[in-house]
Amino acid sequence: MVDRVVRYENLTNELAEVFARLNVPFEGDLGVRKKGHFRTDRTPYQSVLNPKQRQIVERVFAREIQLHGYRFQQVPTAEPTEQL
């Protein structure tokens, strides 16, 4: 049985809440680094998957996507520059 699912994207804040509820000291640092150093290419995930691959991910992980309220977002675009 699970009381709470902690999202990785909010890991520090949510762990602070969990530890506070359990009355466990937490300094806001797990003592480990994020996995970001493994991925040097910062291309947005929306640009990495082609439409077929996206459909596969949506099908295979449909339950998790729905349970956690995730959705695929549009590819980030640069703000249009205003010409004078």
- Residues 15, 30: Cα–Cα separation, whole Å: 10
CA distance linking residue 24 with residue 18, whole number of Å: 9
Which of the pair, 40 or 71, is modelled with greater confidence? 71
The model carries a pTM of: 0.57
Q: pLDDT by residue (tens digit) across 41-62?
A: 878 888 888 999 999 999 999 9
Q: Which position has the higher pLDDT, 82 or 58?
A: 58
Domain residue ranges of the chain, discontinuous segments joined by +: 1-40, 43-73
Provide the sign of the torsion angle of the four alpha carbons 44, 78, 34, 65, taken in this order: negative
Please report where in the chains the tokens 């995930």 appear, as a residue: 45
Residues whose CB falls within 8 Å of the CB of residue 76, separated by 6 or more in sequence, listed in order: 44, 46
